[in-house]
């Protein structure tokens, strides 16, 4: 149903689809969400295609959550939010729309979405 060949995030990893990168290492990529719920809204993904939390390998879990604090600090420094929420949707019913595991980092601002 959700074919790896059609995966938008795999195409972002390969560079076939452009993205605004926030952080990258050998295993992980973080980039700005195309639809910014708040300023600096970022997605952290493993470079390997794993659909969701049920498929996520221990190694990818480690890589993603090791990178998350670095990404959070980069967002904090760049956009000066007052807080950040981490969110992860698994399954269509739970709001997952791209079937390549990702964690949202959602910066929070005292007033509104930060775009002011």
Instruction: List the catalytic residues.
Output: 102
Query: Judged by CB under 6 A, which stretch of 48-56, 58-66, 77-85, 91-99 contacts ligand 5GP?
Result: 91-99
**Using CB under 5 A, which of 41, 47, 49, 63 touches Zn ion?**
49
Under the binding rule (CB under 6 A), the answer on residue 31 touching ligand 5GP is yes
CB of 17 to Zn ion, least distance (A): 11
Q: Which region, judged by CB under 6 A, interacts with ligand 5GP, from 25-33, 52-60, 70-78, 108-116?
A: 25-33
Residue 28 as a binder of Zn ion (CB under 5 A): the answer is no
Q: Is there binding between residue 42 and ligand 5GP (CB under 6 A)?
A: no
Distance CA 98, CA 48 (A): 14
SS (H, E, C) the chain: CCCHHHCHHHHHHHCCCCCCEEEECCCEEEEECCCCCCCCCEEEEECCCCCCCCCCCHHHHHHHHHHHHHHHHHHHHHHCCCEEEEECCCCHHHCCCCCCCCEEEEEECCCCCCCC
Nearer to ligand 5GP, 8 or 53 (CB): 8
């Amino acid at each position: 149903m959700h074919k790896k060949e059609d995966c938008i995030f795999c195409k972002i990893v390969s560079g076939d689809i452009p993205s605004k990168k926030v952080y990258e290492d050998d295993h992980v990529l973080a980039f700005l969400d195309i639809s910014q719920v708040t300023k600096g809204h970022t997605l952290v993904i493993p470079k390997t295609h794993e659909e969701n939390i049920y498929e996520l390998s221990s190694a990818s879990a480690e890589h993603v959550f090791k990178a998350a604090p670095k990404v959070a600090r980069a967002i904090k420094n760049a956009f000066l939010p007052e807080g950040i929420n981490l969110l992860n949707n698994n399954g269509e019913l739970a709001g997952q729309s791209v079937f390549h595991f990702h964690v949202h980092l959602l910066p929070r601002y005292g007033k509104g979405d930060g775009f002011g």
